């Protein structure tokens, strides 16, 4: 019983329960849409993107669990931390699925709007919860200032990753087989900033938006308690 209580507290610390409920709600909305409209393919990408959004969250839990079990073996956090960072942009990426919102026969527009809102909300929450966990681990290892450098840098990289996913159509795992081409897609705008306003504008605005969301949520996390 005591072990179950500890596990419950661990999941609660990861905000698992509200994220799980939100994910079930999102999937229920999608299933409801399929039943009513009979269109299985429409917005099916949301389900896949939600699955991808859970990956960095899952690895943040793994990292936190390893640290609690082996607090002096910080190097055990490197592998799950790298995978977390690689997949981290997938969580807020769901926001860009609003590109697909348009009136469709068989389903009210307001329902599709709610569907996209719930999936996007869940993705943002997954991103925030996982980053909060990783920042706490970084703070424990190297201090508060560097933990904020880590958090802001992660959000900036997420902004770049979202751009690469939406406009260049790269996936997180493509870094393993097409790293040179992906790097070229990042360097090209840096070399020609005046001809790459979309890259800088999109990345900067999404980074700022994610940072504001992160600050807002962690400020309400535990009043009076620092990260």
pLDDT digits (tens, 9 = 90+) for 89-142: 999 999 999 988 999 988 999 999 999 999 999 999 999 999 999 999 999 999
Residue 204 — pLDDT band, cuts 50, 70, 90?
very high
pLDDT at 144: 93
pLDDT at 222: 58
Per-residue pLDDT, averaged over 175-195, amounts to: 83
pLDDT at 221: 67
69 in a structural domain: yes
Q: Write out the residue range of the structural domain in which residue 167 sits.
A: 2-221
pLDDT at 224: 47
Q: What is the DSSP string of the chain?
A: -HHHHHHHHHHHHTTHHHHHHHHHHHHHHHHHHHHHH--SSTTHHHHHHHHHHHHHHHHHHHHHHHHHH-TT-GGGGHHHHHHHHHHTTHHHHGGGGGGG---BTTB-HHHHHHHHHHHHHHHHHHHHHHHHHHHHHHHHHH-HHHHHHHHHHHHHHHHHHHHHHHTS---TTHHHH-HHHHHHHHHHHHH-GGG-HHHHHHHHHHHHHHHHHHHHHHHHHSTT---
pLDDT in tens, 55-102: 999 999 999 999 999 988 888 999 999 999 999 999 999 999 998 899
227 in a structural domain: no
Mean pLDDT across the chain, nearest whole number? 91
pLDDT at 29: 97
Q: What is the pTM of this model?
A: 0.91
226 in a structural domain: no
Number of domains in the chain: 1
């Amino acid at each position: 019983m005591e072990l179950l209580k500890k596990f419950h507290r661990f999941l609660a610390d990861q905000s698992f329960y509200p994220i799980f409920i939100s994910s079930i709600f999102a999937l229920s909305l999608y299933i409801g849409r399929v039943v009513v409209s009979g269109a299985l393919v429409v917005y099916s990408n949301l389900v896949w993107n939600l699955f991808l959004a859970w990956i960095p969250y899952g690895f943040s839990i793994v990292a936190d669990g390893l640290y609690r079990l082996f607090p002096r073996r910080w190097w055990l956090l490197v592998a799950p931390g790298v995978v977390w960072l690689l997949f981290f942009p997938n969580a807020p990426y769901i926001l860009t699925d609003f590109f697909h919102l348009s009136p469709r026969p068989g389903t009210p527009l307001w329902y599709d709007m709610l569907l996209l809102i719930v999936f996007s909300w869940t993705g943002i929450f997954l991103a925030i919860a996982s980053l909060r966990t990783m920042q706490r681990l970084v703070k424990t290892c190297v201090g508060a200032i560097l933990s904020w450098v880590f958090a802001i840098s992660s959000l900036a990289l997420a902004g770049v990753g979202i751009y690469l996913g939406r406009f260049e159509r790269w996936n997180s795992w493509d870094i393993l087989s097409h790293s040179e081409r992906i790097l070229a897609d990042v360097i090209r705008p840096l070399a020609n900033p005046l001809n790459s306003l979309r890259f800088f504008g999109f990345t900067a605005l999404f980074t700022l938006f994610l940072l504001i969301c992160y600050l807002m949520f962690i400020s309400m996390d535990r009043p009076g308690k620092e990260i």
